[in-house]
Amino acid sequence: MSQRPGGAPSIASALLRVAIAIATLYVALGLGASYWQVVEAQRLTNDPSNPLSLAAARSAPRGRIFDVRGRVLARNVKQANGESIREYTYPVMAPVLGYKSLVFGASGLEKTYDAELAGIRQLTPGDEMLRKFRARPYDPQDLVLSIDLRLQGRATQALGGNRGAIVAIEPTTGRILALVSAPTFDANRLIDPVEGRAYLKSLSEQPASRSPLLNRATQGRFTPGSVFKIVTAIAGVGSGAIDAGTRYQEQPGEEESGFLIKGFRVRDGHHLFTGGEPLDFLQATEVSCNVWYARSGLRIGGPALLDWAGRLGFGQPIPFELPTAPSIVTRGEGPGGGFIDEVELANAAYGQGQTFATPLQMALVAATVANGGTLMRPKLVDELRGANGGVTPLGPSAMSQVLPRGSADLIRAAMVQAVEGEWGRGFAGGARIPGVTTAGKGGTAEVDDTNRPHSWFIGFAPAEAPRIAIAVLVQEGGFASERAVPIAGDLMEAYLKLPAE
Amino acid sequence: MTLGATLRRVRVRPRMRIRELVLLASVSMALVVGWASLASHVAGSLTLGRQFSHLVLYLGAVFAVHLAFVVAGRRTDQLLLPVIALLGGLSLLLMERLPQGLATQDMGGVELGLASLQLLWLGVAMLLVAAIAIGVRSDGWLRYYKYTWAAVGVGLLLLVFVLGEETNGARLSLRIGPLQGQPSELLKVILVVFLAGYLADNRTLLAQASTRFGPIKLPPVPYLLPMVAMWGIALAVVIFQRDLGAALLFFSIFLTLLYVATRRASYVVLGGLLFVGGSSVLYFVFGHVQDRVDIWIDPFVDPLDRGFQIIRALYAFGRGGIVGTGLGAGLPQVGESLAIPAVHTDFVFTALSEELGLLGGFVILGLYLVIAERGLRIAAAADDDFRALLAAGLTLVIVLQAAIIAGGNLRVFPLTGITLPFISYGGSSLLANAIVIGLLLALSDRGPERLAAPSAGRRRGFRAGMRAVGGRIEKVIS
């Protein structure tokens, strides 16, 4: 339309510009749609509060969970009303599997692998696009765990009615062989549509220290006592502050009087039979000498101890398939987030400062020594299996190289002596396995004056080619030698003797 | 002017509409495939149930409109009908798979559910499109009574304001007997008619800047006032009714038409500034405006309450991915409750994007772009300013409304509760948009009959037409 008489501008050319503006607007909408449906699609689908997985749980089959030998640990069964509900075959698996409830959501591995079990997440992105063209849009994956049900059952039995936790690891791969927390809950009751709500209420009414819902193995933090000496040893040997020949001339004299630092007396006195000769590294570890380790802690220094503990996983949540609480060497109330003073440092060096560790963390310390100084990332799931036969292996990966092999071997020797040595037998001899060299360290962790100490043991076997590393904690179980040490020995022996099948 | 009188004045001569027919056939095939997907997902097998008979009825209505166009013989646009037929068909399929209790109405003792009601309104809408596209032969009734229309519009709004019913905190709907409607849907058409009339008359003056206002030149104040008043009243009432989407739509139509009429970018800039200023004031004054903006910026601040709807929508988009879940395989429901509240009115674009994927979403957006292209082409080819502005304004009604709500779904804009034309559930929206398409079709008539007003020999011409001897001879005679 041309310029009209009277000077009014052309409408046609204005319309062209409007058309361009509209096209731009719609391109922006298309970009917006692309952002959500391509770029962010995966993240949105995996968002835990997405109701999609819950809906898929109702409508689609859910993958099963197997132990390492193919025993069914969890499967779906159809109810009378047509809805599918989870069934847990072995109560001992509760701390690992958690639960999948249509009401409360999920926990444990059921939560971590929710999307895979429901089949809404594919591991290959290309497959995702073609889902709608398949006869079955969901591809629920079965999980195959590294847990050996036989060891898991035996470990649960060993804890009996006590509170505590046991973690067993294959040191070379990080595969978890058993993970127990006691007391635990009955997953079948918890997901029961009728009874579940009342049961959960009764569980949550218990005090936190006794809660069956707390996974003590991964989220419970306990004073480690003497098992922490292995961390101090790693820091000392690794940093060069101590070696095999490290001795303290004052040590024998301080066995009776105590080692006085700034008005605080580090007490020992449980190995007066070692006499007047100063102990070296192996001997000090064998008899669990507090004075020797307190002095070594001061020699290593706060920053180095924190640094080396950090390489073992302290200070942050351990990357794992279950939620983990960070273990700590100190509360960090001192300058620069370190120890308050030398007293705290000295106490921390033998595990009695403001030091708190999870059984999983302590098991990783043992596994690191067992594996020649390399810390493997702990893992529970060996592989995913699709309904159509597709298998996705989840292989091992190293978390960090903590020590060179030579240094690790020195600490291994100390741990062997702590179990097998003439002196050591009196403390941790209960962990010995006939015909197999065993390495380990017991710990009797003082909590306060009123309660009995925690009974700890960490170790591995066979010492020369370890197949299992273990951490055992019996809360308020008394002396290490009474509870944790024999349990660990029995479990390691049982595992080594299990038929491979 | 009655339809009968109009028809008597023109010669009816059937004219094939091959393009429209082919496109409608493709649309039908696409919709049948969609039904197959829906039925196989929802029912588990291809059963010829309610959904199929609904679809057949709907397609019947669409082809009836096509047939009416052929018989009427007007040389109108052949793309608009297939486009709205596809949009309406998608709407029907979507309503079929949502819980039918979302909307119910008792019609003479028969309780109709969501899909049945939508089918009913789609049918009425098709009828309206046909009636207007065929029947409207003169624009005089729109052109010469613009102030009357404006008065009708304002009256409608005041009526709603006084007698309206509240839903979701917005006073939007008016109930007359058993029927309930949202007058703001009709108001946007009236607004366009008024603006087109006013701007066509005064655009020369408006384009000449004679009043200086700082660095911005404005037209003489007396010419600007009626328009600003119209806009102000509409906006104010809409704000009091808390209908933000309609306010945004009115305002953007107003600005765009003003630009088309005057080609003065400074008006757009000034209007934009006014809008930003006004919005900031509204943000601080009205809680509901603040809510809308807050959850637009980050819906996860209040995931269980205010941000709930938009978060659920984002999940649905993510779930759809590139190719979608397939019609019927989406998750509009989780357990007993809707996955996305108001999915059938405000979030239809999300629901279809979930099931048809990014590609399907692009197709839907593309269909609105086709309407934009056709509408603006009709405007550009119009005989005079009024018809050009009217066609452009009507096009904007649909295209901008679709962009505002789709953008709201996609978090490109803050979410407002307006409908997606031809897809959202709702009679008022469907009828208003049917009027828009009907008028666009009428305006697109390129036939020679358009201007011819034969008074003598009409009967003979009619008969000649029926005999269909040939158009050329007929033209020569007339």
Please give the average pLDDT of every successive group of 10 residues along chain A, which has 501 residues: 53 90 95 90 74 61 91 87 83 94 84 84 54 62 95 95 95 97 93 87 85 93 96 96 94 89 86 88 95 96 95 95 95 88 94 94 97 96 86 90 95 96 90 94 89 94 95 93 93 91 60
pLDDT tens figures, B137-153: 888 888 888 888 888 88
Tell me the DSSP string of B414-474: -------TTTSS-HHHHHHHHHHHHHHHHHT--SGGGT----TTHHHHHHHHHHT--HHHH
Q: Are the beta carbons of A129 and B322 separated by less than 8 Å? A: yes
Query: How many CA atoms within 13 Å lie on the side-chain side of A70?
Result: 2
**Chain A residues touching B326 at Cβ < 8 A:** 132, 137
Task: Kindly list the domain boundaries of chain A, sorted by start residue.
Answer: 62-118+187-211, 219-380+395-497
Question: Mean pLDDT over residues B350-369, rounded?
Answer: 93
Question: Mean pLDDT over residues B354-363, rounded?
Answer: 92
Tell me the DSSP string of A427-476: HHGGG-BTTB--EEEEEEE---SSSPPEEEEEEEESSSS-SEEEEEEETT
Q: What is the pLDDT of residue A114?
A: 85
Percent of chain A with pLDDT over 90: 64
**Chain A residues touching B410 at Cβ < 8 A:** 29, 32-33, 36
Which of A2, A34, A36 should one mutate to test binding to chain B, selecting the residue with the greatest count of B CBs within 10 A? A36
**Chain A residues touching B376 at Cβ < 8 A:** 15, 18-19
> Looking at the partner chain, which of B314, B334, B385 has a beta carbon nearest the beta carbon of A54?
B334
Q: Are the beta carbons of A28 and B407 separated by less than 8 Å? A: yes
> Looking at the partner chain, which of A32, A41, A130 has a beta carbon nearest the beta carbon of B318?
A41
pLDDT tens figures, B287-298: 777 888 888 888
Which of B45, B334, B398 should one mutate to test binding to chain A, selecting the residue with the greatest count of A CBs within 10 A? B334
Beta-sheet pairing, A391-393 with A454-461:
unpaired
Q: What is the mean pLDDT of chain B?
A: 80
| Phi, psi of A261, deg, nearest 5 | -120, 125
Instruction: Measure CA B397 to chain center.
Output: 6
Query: A215 Cβ partners below 8 Å, 6+ apart?
Result: A95, A108, A181, A322, A323
pLDDT tens figures, B5-55: 555 555 567 888 999 999 999 999 999 999 988 888 776 666 667 788 999
Residue A272 is given by DSSP the state G
Q: Within a domain: residue B459?
A: yes
CA distances from B70 to B14, B26, B318 (A): 5, 18, 44
Q: Within a domain: residue B387?
A: no
Q: Within a domain: residue B257?
A: no
Query: B431 Cβ partners below 8 Å, 6+ apart?
Result: B121, B124, B125, B128, B185, B186
Q: Are the beta carbons of B314 and A51 separated by less than 8 Å? A: no
Cβ–Cβ under 8 Å, residues A298 and A388:
no
**Chain B residues touching A193 at Cβ < 8 A:** none
Instruction: Measure CA A402 to chain center.
Output: 17
Query: B358 Cβ partners below 8 Å, 6+ apart?
Result: A33, A34, A37, A38, B320, B321, B322, B323, B324
Q: Within a domain: residue B123?
A: no
What is d(CA A151, CA B49) in angstroms, rounded to the nearest whole number?
57
Cβ–Cβ under 8 Å, residues B379 and B395:
yes
Query: Tokens 């009695």 belong to which residue?
Result: A352
ipTM of the modeled complex: 0.86
Residues shown for chain A: 501
Q: Are the beta carbons of B389 and A12 separated by less than 8 Å? A: no
Identify which of A428, A446, A457, A424 has the alpha carbon closest to the alpha carbon of residue A227. Answer: A457
CATH code reported for the domain at A219-380+395-497: 3.40.710.10
Query: B288 Cβ partners below 8 Å, 6+ apart?
Result: B169, B242, B244
Q: Regarding predicted confidence, which is higher, B422 or B323? A: B422
Q: Are the beta carbons of A37 and B321 separated by less than 8 Å? A: yes
CATH code reported for the domain at A62-118+187-211: 3.90.1310.10
Cβ–Cβ under 8 Å, residues B294 and B301:
yes
> Looking at the partner chain, which of B256, B318, B368 has a beta carbon nearest the beta carbon of A40?
B318
Count up the domains in chain B and report the number: 1
> Looking at the partner chain, which of B376, B400, B407 has a beta carbon nearest the beta carbon of A19?
B376
Tell me the DSSP string of B187-247: HHHHHHHHHHHHHHHHHHHHHS--EEETTEEE--HHHHHHHHHHHHHHHHHHHHTT-HHHH
Residues shown for chain B: 478
Instruction: Measure CA B365 to chain center.
Output: 14
What is d(CA B279, CA A2) in angstroms, rounded to the nearest whole number?
38
**Chain B residues touching A127 at Cβ < 8 A:** none
Cβ–Cβ under 8 Å, residues A64 and A74:
yes
pLDDT tens figures, A333-388: 888 888 999 999 999 999 998 999 999 999 999 999 999 999 999 999 999 998 77
Q: Within a domain: residue B478?
A: yes
CA distance A103 to chain B (A): 11
Other Cβ atoms less than 10 A from the Cβ of B281: the count is: 11
Cβ–Cβ under 8 Å, residues B291 and B417:
no
Which of A3, A16, A27, A29 should one mutate to test binding to chain B, selecting the residue with the greatest count of B CBs within 10 A? A29
Q: What is the pLDDT of residue A12?
A: 85
Residue type, B445: D
Query: A261 Cβ partners below 8 Å, 6+ apart?
Result: A294, A298, A342, A343, A346
Q: Are the beta carbons of A13 and B358 separated by less than 8 Å? A: no
Cβ–Cβ under 8 Å, residues A77 and A90:
no
Cβ–Cβ under 8 Å, residues A180 and A92:
yes
What is d(CA B76, CA B439) in angstroms, rounded to the nearest whole number?
11
In the predicted structure, residue B473 carries a pLDDT above the cut 60? no
What is d(CA B35, CA B47) in angstroms, rounded to the nearest whole number?
10
Q: Within a domain: residue B85?
A: no
**Chain B residues touching A50 at Cβ < 8 A:** 315
Q: Are the beta carbons of B314 and A37 separated by less than 8 Å? A: no
**Chain A residues touching B311 at Cβ < 8 A:** 49
Q: What is the pLDDT of residue B62?
A: 96
Q: Are the beta carbons of B373 and A19 separated by less than 8 Å? A: yes
Q: What is the pLDDT of residue A55?
A: 63
Cβ–Cβ under 8 Å, residues A162 and A212:
no
Domain span holding position B459: 448-478
> Looking at the partner chain, which of A26, A37, A128 has a beta carbon nearest the beta carbon of B353?
A37
Other Cβ atoms less than 10 A from the Cβ of A200: the count is: 19
Tell me the DSSP string of A89-156: S-GGGHHHH--EETTTEE-HHHHHTHHHHHT---SSHHHHHTGGGSSSS--PEEEEES--HHHHHHHH
Helix B287-297, helix B265-285: angle, nearest 10: 100
Helix, strand counts (H, E) of chain A: 21, 17
Angle at B441 between CA B438 and CA B442, to 5 degrees: 85
Beta-sheet pairing, A141-145 with A65-66:
parallel
Q: Regarding predicted confidence, which is higher, B85 or B311? A: B85
Please state whether B339 falls in left (phi above 0), alpha (psi between -120 and 50) or beta: alpha
Helix B183-207, helix B427-443: angle, nearest 10: 40
Q: What is the pLDDT of residue A372?
A: 95
**Chain B residues touching A14 at Cβ < 8 A:** 259-261, 263
CA distances from B99 to A447, B40, B49, B332, B470 (A): 60, 17, 16, 9, 54
Instruction: Measure CA B250 to chain center.
Output: 13
Query: A280 Cβ partners below 8 Å, 6+ apart?
Result: A244, A245, A246, A247
Q: Regarding predicted confidence, which is higher, B115 or B208? A: B115
Q: What is the CA radius of gyration of chain B?
A: 23
**Chain A residues touching B335 at Cβ < 8 A:** 54-55, 58
| Max mean pLDDT range (A113-127, B121-135, B244-258, B267-281) | B121-135
Structure-block tokens of residue A338: 């370190």
Q: Within a domain: residue B461?
A: yes
Q: Are the beta carbons of A18 and B376 separated by less than 8 Å? A: yes
B117-123 — which CB contacts under 8 Å span 24+ positions?
B117/B425, B117/B427, B118/B91, B118/B92, B118/B425, B119/B54, B119/B57, B119/B58, B119/B92, B119/B95, B121/B426, B121/B427, B121/B430, B121/B431, B122/B58, B122/B61, B122/B88, B122/B91, B122/B92, B122/B430, B123/B57, B123/B58, B123/B61
Q: Within a domain: residue B462?
A: yes
Element housing A381 (H / E): strand A381-386
